[in-house]
Amino acid sequence: MPNIEETLPSAEDPTRASAVRKALWKLLPFLILMYMIAFLDRSNVGSAKQALHTDIGISDAVFAFGAGVFFVGYALFEVPSNLILYRVGARRWMTRIMVTWGLVSAAMMFVVGDKSFIALRSLLGITEAGFFPGIMLYLTFWFPEKERTRVLGFFYFGYPLAMTLGSPLSGALFGLDGIAGLKGWQWMFLLEGLLAVIVGAMTLFVLPDRPKEVNWLTDDEKNTLESVLAAEEAAKGISRHGHDVLGLLRSAKLIQFLALYGVMQIASYGVVFYLPEQVSGILHEKIGFKVGLVSALPWGCAVLSTFIIPRFVQRYDAPRMGVIVCLAASAIGLVMSGSGMSSVALTGLCLAAAGVVTVQAVFWNFPLAYFSGLQAAGAIALINAIGNLGGFAAPNIRALAIHFWQTPMAGLYAVSMAGVVGLIITMFLPRRTPARVQPAL
């Protein structure tokens, strides 16, 4: 069977290039904004950790469990949510997801103890389920495989940007402490949650489902883009209307992707949930605007790396090497972040943040190239659901290691091992992206 790139307009074709460029500028800014808010609402609990302990007595163990339990509800509802999105369209389903999770995130201001903290974190995971895999699936409706690495790199700007801007924002909102009788952390949850509700409502009017629905593409651009995307889907061995979702369970590649993404998330949330606290320790300052500002530095490094590394990966078609470099950086950085020297610790946090963010932009090239149609909807959701249980594991692994060895360094070493395990799994991935004619299973 010929490679589809021999029979369809190439990435250099003027019409195809124009269509992709327009879609990039029309869709990516809003998608990045959505992702920034999602990650902000998911991770702002890290900024509230000290205050929750002081004000309502949330212990380290309860915090670790509550921070991680988000991912249990998230995992349980991920696959059905993505299958619904495939049926009803991204515009309507993303609106539902963002509005409901924004309301729950705002409700975190009403936490009064262990039970309410754990319950609301669980509910937040349930309401946000399907958001990220929905975005991944949505990108396959608009961008051909050849351009997808670059698009994923741009999209993943939302992760470090959320942390770069969110850390000072959360710190600044703590400055509202006492206004209207509310604590600073209550203001943070309320205002950041309402932001998600507002952007969610905008989604209904801003986000188109498919290229054929927009008026900012010419008819030639629509036809070219749709023909390339349809041919790529067919070349994977299942049509866009395929129903072999259960066949995913027979896929050895899916198991490999699940394992790799899981350890990636352990490393990622080992950084995300504890970075403000680590910076607080480095500066010997309580969490506030200053700590939030310095906490933005590692995420600024991650913004830079998500710009550079995906471009390198796309140019040389070297996704495996990109994953290896990023996982190594995250493991080394996590160990360095425990140094008693402030400069070394902060450098380590920069390495770790850059590694855990950028590796995800590179990783998704593999599953997006293997699966299509309903099967892609199920695969992406399953990988994200099971993999994100690493977000549940990370704080608990760290807490258990610290308890067992009675030193904070043990927690960092334990989480950094996730990067090492990921390196081993990565060695079994193909050196380059799979051939466009390879079937999914």
Given a cut of 50, whether residue 238 has pLDDT beyond it is no
CB 400 within 8 A of CB 61: no
Domain annotation covers residue 84: yes
Q: Which domain holds residue 170?
A: 12-426
pLDDT at 435: 47
| Better-predicted residue by pLDDT, 90 or 6 | 90
User: Mutual orientation of helices 342-363 and 145-155 as an angle, nearest 10°?
Assistant: 150
Domain annotation covers residue 440: no
pLDDT at 441: 34
The closest of 338, 271, 260, 345 to 302, measured between CA atoms, is 271
The closest of 128, 71, 405 to 268, measured between CA atoms, is 71
Domain annotation covers residue 433: no
Q: What is the pLDDT of residues 129-181, one digit of tens each?
A: 888 888 888 888 888 877 877 788 788 777 777 777 776 777 778 788 788 88
CB 140 within 8 A of CB 82: no
| Structural domain count of the chain | 1
Domain annotation covers residue 404: yes
Cα–Cα distance for residue pair 158/57, rounded to 1 Å: 33
Q: pTM of the entire structure?
A: 0.73
Given a cut of 50, whether residue 47 has pLDDT beyond it is yes
Cα–Cα distance for residue pair 263/416, rounded to 1 Å: 10
Q: What is the pLDDT of residues 189-227, one digit of tens each?
A: 999 899 999 999 999 888 898 888 888 888 998 988 888
- For the chain, what is the radius of gyration of the CA atoms? 21
108 CA to centre of own chain: 21
- What's the CATH code of the domain at 394? 1.20.1250.20
Domain annotation covers residue 30: yes
3-state helix, strand, coil in the chain (%, to 5): 80, 0, 20
284 sits in the region (left: phi over 0; alpha: psi -120 to 50; else beta) called left
Determine which of 115-129, 276-290, 341-355 has the lowest per-residue pLDDT on average. 276-290
Determine which of 93-97, 122-126, 130-134, 233-237 has the lowest per-residue pLDDT on average. 233-237
Residue type, 200: G
HEC assignment per residue over 107-153 = HHHHCCCHHHHHHHHHHHHHHHCCHHHHHHHHHHCCCCHHHHHHHHH
CB 83 within 8 A of CB 374: yes
Confidence at 246, pLDDT banded by 50, 70, 90: low
pLDDT at 233: 72
DSSP letter for 284, please: T
Confidence at 236, pLDDT banded by 50, 70, 90: low
Q: What is the pLDDT of residues 54-112, one digit of tens each?
A: 888 888 888 888 877 887 888 888 888 888 888 888 888 999 999 999 999 999 999 88
Rounded to 5°, angle at Cα 211 from 377 and 129 = 30
Half-sphere exposure of 46 (CA within 13 A, CB side): 27
